[in-house]
Amino acid sequence: MGWLFSHRSRRELIAALIQTDDTVHYQHVTLAHALRGNVLWSVVQSTPKDPAKVARTVIHCTLMQGSGGSWGYKAMDESVHPYYYSCPKGYLTMAPEVCSEWREKVLAHHQHRYLQRGLIKEGDR
């Protein structure tokens, strides 16, 4: 999927991306969100309006970029193994696992950051 651009500011784009979206078939509610640079991480619960269907909770990775006074985004979720790993660790417990390889790399990313900041020592792993 490509990028979608609008004439919004970065702040307006973020607000639009995390707002509750009520469609004909689903209601999408952002349970949590965090910014890591121009990457918006969110946990979104999609509840079907058909009671025979089951709600889903998914981790989203949304890349954002400014160009010519407009801001655009590219939305992905865990299922496509986005090659970004700064997702907050707590989000991994909020949604069922879809891509174990991606989750392992998210955990490795955080482990590496803790080592760099001296919060844990090499032998403590």
How far, in Å, CA of 45 to CA of 67, rounded?
30
The 10s digit of each residue's pLDDT in 82-125 is 999 999 999 999 999 999 999 999 999 999 877 766 655 555 54
Q: What are the boundaries of each domain within the chain?
A: 4-124
The 10s digit of each residue's pLDDT in 9-68 is 999 999 999 999 999 999 999 999 999 999 999 999 999 999 999 999 999 999 999 998
Bridge partners (DSSP) of residue 21 are 28
- The three-state DSSP-derived secondary structure of 49-113 is CCCCCCCEEEEEEEEEEEECCEEEEEEEEHHHCCCCCCCCHHHHHCCCCCCHHHHHHHHHHHHHH
Residue 86: CB atoms within 10 A of its CB come to 15
Q: 94 and 84 in contact (C-beta within 8 Å)?
A: no
pTM given for the model: 0.87
